[in-house]
Amino acid sequence: MLNKDIKKVLVIGSGPIVIGQAAEFDYAGTQACKALREEGVEVVLLNSNPATIMTDKDIADHVYIEPLTIEVAENIIKKEKPDSILPTLGGQAGLNMAMALEESGFLTEHNVKLIGTTAETIKRAEDRLLFKETMDKINEPVAASKVVHNVEDGLKVANEIGYPIVLRPAYTLGGAGGGIAENEDDCKTILENGLRLSRVHEVLVERCIAGWKEIEYEVMRDGAGNVITVCSMENMDPVGVHTGDSVVVAPTQTLSDKEYQMLRTSALNIIDELGIMGGCNVQYALDPESFEYCVIEVNPRVSRSSALASKATGYPIARVAAKIALGYNLDEIKNEITGKTYACFEPMLDYCVVKMPRLPFDKFVTADHHLSTQMKATGEVMAISNCFEGALMKAIRSLEQHVNGLMSYDYSAVDDKGLRELISDTDDRRIWTIAEAMRRGMSAYEIHQLTKIDEWFIKKISNLLEMEKRLGNERLDENLIKEAKHMEFPDRVIATLQGITEEEVYNLRKRLNIVAHFRMVDTCAAEFEAETPYFYSDYGVENEEFDLNTGKKKVLILGSGPIRIGQGIEFDFCSVHSTWAFKKEGYETIIINNNPETVSTDFDTADKLYFEPLTTEDVRNIVDIEKPDGAVVQFGGQTAIKLSQFLTGMGVKILGTNPEDVDAAEDRERFDEILNETGIERPKGETVFTAEEAIKAANELGYPVLVRPSYVLGGQGMQIAISDSDVVEYINQINQIEQKHPILVDKYIKGTELEIDAICDGKDILIPGIMEHIERTGIHSGDSISVYPAKSISENAKKTLLDYTAKLAKALHVIGMINIQFIADNDDIYIIEVNPRSSRTVPYISKVTGIPIVELATRVICGHTIRELGYEVGLQKDSGYYAIKMPVFSFEKIRGADISLGPEMKSTGECLGISTDFNEALHKAFLGAGVKLPKYYNMVITVKDEDKEDIIPIARRFEALGYNIFSTRGTYNVLKEAGVSCTRTRKVEQESPNILDLVLGHELDIVIDTPRDGAENSRDGFIIRRNAVETGVNVITAIDTAEALVTSLENRKKIASLVDIAALSR
């Protein structure tokens, strides 16, 4: 029953997107907030991430995009006086904050209750010792472990637990010094080494369960003690690879009912004992050779896995968890998918789901690709099919990594021995390596021995290889196509193997009527009629009966696929808002997307959801059946834009800006024509295909030059070259992937970067505001600190900006969104880039200006004019607030990645600082990004020659804040001469103690290290930057960021204001 005492609830989000904490919490939070408001509960929201949907005024009554700190949360509670906090929706960040507030007594003092799962429960699940005690109490096994401080104790514990044993030294870099010991001798050696390396001389001795099956259960419990299992999942990769980086299949495939029920019963006993109220994730290691198992972890909250489970089954976990928190029992909550049954049941699947991680090694080519217990994926894709082979093939092509099957990587340079090593070492390409090994004749058993992957999965991969072989050798008859399509071989791969064209395969199967049909995800394996149209494709079956003609106009909204660096949650925000706006306009909305973490793939976002890869073939399947009146591509990032020509070719009208015009913005020659006509300048540049051409162009333009491929997002492959050898290196990198379009070589101009998002209705434009980047040109806009409104440009420059924006929007016949980036060199304005589509900055600008940009753009696309919608045209008045978007990085999680900023984007997320005062806004932004300084008052400064002049005042200000500055020779001399007190330290290649020892001494706050441009130079300081990041030091690689940081620290005591974004509408 509804607890009527709950009237106002504070929901805490998870903050910026980082590896391990992505869009899944926006999805869960949004769903939960909607569920709360449905019951008349007032929702107060705190999340520092402005790109989220949960921070919309449509979702919560009061929205605070403020840093996730205790102080801020306390101030919000004092101001808003909520009676409750729902702590389980904001990932670990939200949970930790709620716990800290509870433990300090603040909540009791202010009469605020934690609803849903209690503090006691959270403690028992999260605290290592309490958790172990709880598990012991109910006889649930956990992997035995003990902390030791000397070899003798270590050996004793190892003998008690039994070999093999895992040894984990505490506080060493990336687990250095640890390992698996098979016997006492190994154990002794590793212990001695580990104890020496550990700063606290501590090693954890733990039972080795690597290689066991990793199984997860998503379970729920209500206040009456009713318990259910929503979904079981099996990791293809055994224990040892983080589940976020594993290929995961749902439901479990290789467990018999006995094993399945054993773990299910265990999971339910655990949540019962813990007293969970809501959703919970329980992870197990299961011995593949017995009934023995261990509980690895319990997460008493929604998680990445719960998002996956929700999408895999159709069961809305976050929604149900929110209702439980309000006092309802499971049997009182309707199952929204069937509309008939209740939330108190267990979903049954009649399909197979495969999740694959989206790993960031296309961005960090030189980073360590090894997968381990530290998650590295930025996002994920999910695919649904009737068989595992089909789901895997669909998942692979959903990744958008230029792979469409198991043949995508070239192993010709790897010999059999090398291949064997590659297989034993889990990396991002493991399944492709396995496929190659099997092609070379390695047996499934042998691969199982090397990888511990269950043979069931390996043999499934072998089925795909068998089909590959047949497609290469046999005539393409009806049966063969049927079987290939059943396994979801894309036409393109069939065509390649057959030596014909993709179109020929398509036509052939059209003629044979071998086409994709669509099936419903209904939570109940067809036992009950379902109401929610959530579909996946399948071959060789009947189409599910569903309404294809509602009489409404239909619009196809293409989503943005997996979250990756350069294309994040912002594009899901745009897709979802566009969908809502189309609904308001009376359209039937159809979303295609493959990302299980997002709001766009929630069951009630669009009228219909197709959970499918975003490739031409898969989209065509949907177009063939739905015959939409139009498609909108400008909100789904590059993923959607890439499909526009194809859609036009199929006769689907692209709503909004014409694809021809979108292309004109990307095509260098056509774009130059437009610039000529409009009299707009851009940095001089050339288009080239080869390294020779590039060198010639670079020398004509004069170094430094920017080198980049066309048609990319997030500056992928973009580099600043200062020499011919740089040019050659970069061109070769770009050409590793076949380029359909030329490479661009531009003169690099250093100036202030400005950015504008605008809406154009064909006649008038609306500009919500101008953004200015703190970092000068050369750093990708997504990695720059962005300030709204631009504060350093002259009125003249502003006028030019507005004039250029209007001209470009008109010249490109923009209907809807346009994003333009400029360089201002004093009053001279150059154009860098035009994107006739929605951009990364749209969500944040929408929120701080109160202008619903995506909705307006969508309505303009539907034929309305800006004036008609009640908006003034031109640049809108400033909102009266400074809003600063701060990039957030996940460098510490990707070993070997270079963290220095440049033209290629590297940040994974963002947070916001907002205030009427610029300095306060800046400090909030840094705080939101986790920069909580000062701590030790020690810092290192080592800058390139060009920055030496600029660093002096900055260093002086740090000194005034009380910082001890350490520098290597060059910087030291400059600072010393300028009268800044400073300690000289040796370079890393010099003898110890040197700068590295300083970093590893764990008492540094900041490293300012600006590397010189160029391939060779950026390698300098790499070790320092890596080690600093991995030990939790804040590393700054651009001089402008350093200045912003010192400004922020100077103003750190002034934080006082709170801005309710929901009140900012105009």
Partner 1 sequence: MNSYLILEDGTVYQGTSIGAVKEVISEIVFNTSMTGYLEVMTDPSYVGQAVVMTYPLIGNYGICFDDMESRGLWLDAFIVRELSEIPSNWRSENTIQNLLKQYAIPGICGIDTRALTKHLRDAGTMNGMLTNKLYEGAEFKKALDRIKEYKVTNAVNIATEKNVELFPASDEIENANKRKVALLDLGAKRNIIRSLQNRGLDVIVYPADAKAEDIIKENPDGIMLSNGPGDPKENVEIIKEIKKLYDTDIPIFAICLGHQLMALATGADTYKLKFGHRGGNHPVKDVETGRVYITSQNHGYAVDMNTVDPSIAVEAYKNVNDNTNEGLRYLNKNIVTVQFHPEASPGPKDSEYLFDKFIEMMEVKHA
Residue ranges that bind partner 1, judged by CB under 8 A: 224-229, 251-258, 260-261, 264-265, 268, 288-290, 329-331, 340-342, 344-352, 386-388, 454-456, 459-460, 519, 524-529, 540-542
Shortest CB 387 distance to partner 1, Å: 6
Tokens, residue 940: 């290192």
Residue 841 and residue 794 in contact, taking contact as beta carbons nearer than 8 Å: no
Nearest distance from C-beta of residue 634 to partner 1, angstroms:
36
Please say which residue, 522 or 904, places its beta carbon nearer to partner 1.
522
Q: Nearer to partner 1 by C-beta: 249 or 842?
A: 249
Cα–Cα distance for residue pair 435/661, rounded to 1 Å: 42
Answer yes or no: are the C-beta atoms of 207 and 187 closer than 8 Å: no
What one-character-per-residue DSSP string does 952-1021 give? HHHHHHHHHTT-EEEE-HHHHHHHHHTT---EE---TTSPSSSHHHHHHTT--SEEEEEPPSSTTGGGTT
Exposure class string for 601-612: b at 16+ Cβ within 10 A, else e: bbbebbbbbbbb
User: Which residue is listed with tokens 């020509």?
Assistant: 645
Residue 164 Cβ vs partner 1, minimum distance, rounded to whole Å: 19
The nearest distance, CB 212 to partner 1, in angstroms, is 12
- Cα pseudo-dihedral 1042, 1045, 1050, 1055, rounded to 10: 170
Please, what is the minimum distance in Å from the beta carbon of residue 539 to partner 1? 11
Cβ distance to partner 1 smaller for residue 127 or 331: 331
C-beta closer to partner 1: residue 346 or 502: 346
SS3 content of the chain, % helix, strand, coil (to 5): 40, 20, 40
CA atoms within 13 A on the CB side of 454: 23
Residue 146 CA to residue 131 CA, distance in Å, equals 14
φ and ψ at 556, to 5 degrees? -95, 125
Nearer residue to partner 1 within complex by CB, 351 or 972: 351
Return all residues near 87 (Cβ < 8 A) that are at least 6 apart.
12, 94, 95, 97, 98, 99, 114, 116, 117, 122, 301
Nearer to partner 1, 250 or 812 (CB): 250
Q: In what order do the strands lie in the sheet with 1006-1010?
A: 983-984, 964-967, 938-943, 1006-1010, 1034-1036
Which residues, 6+ apart, have CB-to-CB distance to 526 below 8 Å? Answer: 350
The distance of closest approach from Cβ of residue 536 to partner 1 in the complex, given in angstroms and rounded to an integer, is 11
Q: Name the nearest CA neighbour of 348 among 228, 246, 263, 235.
A: 228
**Which two three-digit tokens encode residue 289?**
């050779």
Least distance CB 512 / partner 1 (angstroms): 16
Whether the link from the prior residue into 533 is cis, omega within 30° of 0, is: no
Question: Shortest distance, CB of residue 490 to partner 1, whole angstroms?
Answer: 21
Q: Write down the least CB distance from residue 456 to partner 1, Å.
A: 4
Question: Which CB atom, from 272 or from 1003, has the smaller least distance to partner 1?
Answer: 272
CB closer to partner 1, 61 vs 612: 612
Q: How many CA atoms within 13 Å lie on the side-chain side of 512?
A: 18
- Look at residues 681, 698, 761, 776 and name the one whose alpha carbon lies nearest to residue 1014: 698
Residue 255's CB: how many other CB atoms inside 10 A?
19
Helix (H) or strand (E) holding 835, with range, is strand 828-835
Structure tokens belonging to residue 781: 């806009």
- Spatial contact of 625 and 538, defined as CB atoms under 8 Å apart: no
Q: How far is the CB of 315 from partner 1 (least distance, A)?
A: 11
**Residues 853, 866: Cα–Cα separation, whole Å:** 11
Is the Cβ of residue 340 or residue 469 nearer to partner 1 in the bound state?
A: 340
Torsion of CA 92, 94, 100, 101, to 10 degrees: -160
Gap between the Cα atoms of 278 and 11, Å rounded: 15
Q: How far is the CB of 331 from partner 1 (least distance, A)?
A: 5
183/443 with CB nearer partner 1: 443
Judged by CB, which is closer to partner 1: 197, or 465? 465
Tokens 């800044």 — which residue? Answer: 980
Widest Cα–Cα separation across the chain: 83
> Which residues are paired to 591 by β-bridges?
557, 609
Nearest approach in angstroms of CB 1013 to partner 1 is 54
Cβ nearer to partner 1, comparing 264 with 708: 264
- Of the pair 486, 840, the CB lying nearest partner 1 is at 486
CB-nearer residue toward partner 1: 83 or 332: 332
Q: How far is the CB of 567 from partner 1 (least distance, A)?
A: 33
DSSP 494-507: HHHHHTS-HHHHHH
Walk across the sheet containing 62-64 and list its strands: 62-64, 42-46, 8-12, 84-86, 113-114
- Quote the least distance from Cβ 595 to partner 1, whole Å: 24
| Contact call for residues 566 and 715 (beta carbons, < 8 A) | yes
- Please say which residue, 530 or 980, places its beta carbon nearer to partner 1: 530
Amino acid at 687: T
Least Cβ distance, residue 296 to partner 1 (angstroms): 20
Given the complex with partner 1, which of 281 and 313 has the nearer CB atom? Answer: 313
Q: Which CB atom, from 317 or from 866, has the smaller least distance to partner 1?
A: 317
Residue of 92, 141, 455 whose CA lies nearest to 304: 92
- In the bound state with partner 1, the residue whose beta carbon lies nearer, of 290 and 992, is 290
In whole angstroms, the minimum distance from the beta carbon of 259 to partner 1 comes to 8
C-beta of 1020: minimal distance to partner 1 in Å? 51
Q: Whole-number minimum distance, CB 429 to partner 1, in Å? A: 24
Cα-Cα-Cα-Cα torsion 252, 254, 259, 264, nearest 10 degrees, comes to 0
Residues 6+ apart with CB under 8 A from 1039: 943, 947, 950, 951, 954, 1008, 1010
